[in-house]
A and B are shown apart, each in its own frame.
Chain A
Amino acid sequence: MGLKAIARKNAIHAMLIYTGGCNGCDIEVVNAVYSPRYDIEQYRVLLTWNPREADVLIVTGCVTWQMVEPLKKIYSLIPEPKAVVAVGACAINGNVYKNMVGEIGVNEEIFAPVDNIIPVDAKVPGCAPRPEDILMGVVKVIPKLMEAP
Chain B
Amino acid sequence: MATRITVDPVTRIEGHLRIDVEVNDAGKVSKAWSSGQMWRGIEKILVGRDPREAWLFTQRFCGVCTTVHAITSVRAVENALGLEVPVNAQLVRNIIQTAHAIQDHIVHFYHLSAVDWVDVVSGLSADPAKAAQLAESLSDWPLNGVHEMKAVQERLKTFVGSGQLGPFASGYWGHPAMKLPPEVNLMATAHYLQALEVQNYANKIVAVLGGKSPHIQNLAVGGISNSINMDAQSVLNMERLMMIKGWIDKLDQFVKSVYLSDVPAVGAFYLDWAGYGKGVTNYLSMPDCPQDSKGTVYDLPGGYIENGDLATFKPIKTHHDDFFRDGVAECSKHSWYLGDEALHPWKGETDPNYTDFQDEGRYSWVKAPTFNGKRAQVGPLANVLVMVAAGHEPAKKYLDAAMNTLKAVSQKPDIPLEALHSTIGRHAARAVRAAVMLDTLKQQWQKLVDNIGKGDTDTFNPPVFPKGEIQGFGVHEAPRGTLSHWVVIDDGKIKNYQAVVPSTWNAGPRDQNDEPGPYEASLLDNPVADPQKPLEVLRTVHSFDPCIACAIHMVDTEQQEIVKVKVL
A and B associate: no
- Interface on A for B, CB 8 Å cutoff? none
